[in-house]
Amino acid sequence: MRAPIVVAVLAGLIVADDESGLKALTARPEIVAATEWGSKPQPIPDSRKQTPKFVTIHHAGVVWTAKVAPEVFVRNMQSWGQRDKGWPDLPYHFLIAPDGRIFEGRPLEYEPESNTKYPLAGNVGVEMMGSFETQRPDPRQIASCVKLTAWLCDRFAIDPATVRGHKDAASGQTTCPGKDFDRYLKDGQFVRWVRETLAGEAPAIDPGPPLPGGPTETIPSTSPAS
């Protein structure tokens, strides 16, 4: 006879005792804090507070040439948004470098910004540096996106099946997150990687062969020091 599933809340950890054994909450991946990369955020009004309900995935849409370090790219995006767009902080909550490092952006309790029109409240914006219309993501970048998304799904009780690309949220307005990442959202591979991570596995990230007519070159990984 199958043992009943016992769920206990112990010191902030949810522990489920079932046939697969003990399972703790998905670990928070290592994240470069905003204070570490030199963030200079401006205050965001309370009217823009949100409760995270969706994970929306982006690419930068700018070809990554590794001419600047990722932390410089993040600082430049923040100051550009403040100067040219009137955005008090980065438009995204997390930004992932080609080497897999995750940078903290806007605080999660505030809705993101966008150049497109869709309901922003409840979205967690996860951006990967590069343009996946013309370059392929680095497997370490995909792996960090999977780990981060799994942690967000666990922490905010988000169904992995609802994770989407920007183009799915803002239909007809953008190709973001680019065809060579969108493929993993459309064929279900990204959700499988996330579910495996949530199950305590460490899925091997195999980007697979290039898409017919798609990009063939992987994004350059290492950036020079600033």
As measured in angstroms, the least distance from the Cβ of 116 to Zn ion is 7
Q: How far is CA 64 from the centre of its chain?
A: 17
Residue 58 in the binding site for Zn ion (CB under 5 A): yes
Q: Indicate left, alpha or beta for 57 from its phi (over 0: left) and psi (-120 to 50: alpha).
A: beta
As measured in angstroms, the least distance from the Cβ of 121 to Zn ion is 17
Nearest Cα neighbor of 100 from 71, 143, 62, 36 is 143
Q: What is the DSSP letter of 81?
A: I
Give the 3-state secondary structure percentages of the chain, helix then strand then coil, rounded to 5: 30, 20, 55
- Identified binder of Zn ion from the candidate list 95, 169, 176, 205, rule CB under 5 A: 176
Q: What tokens appear for 44 in the block?
A: 């965001």
Residue 167 in the binding site for Zn ion (CB under 5 A): no
Residue 166 in the binding site for Zn ion (CB under 5 A): yes
From residue 115 to residue 154, the character string flagging contacts with Zn ion as x (rule: CB under 5 A) and all else as - is ----------------------------------------
Which among 6-14, 92-100, 101-109, 163-171 is the span making contact with Zn ion, rule CB under 5 A?
163-171
User: Looking at the chain, how many residues does it have?
Assistant: 226
Whichever of 152 and 154 has its CB closer to Zn ion, that residue is 152
180, 216 Cβ separation under 8 angstroms = no
Give me the residues that bind Zn ion (CB under 5 A), please: 58, 166, 176
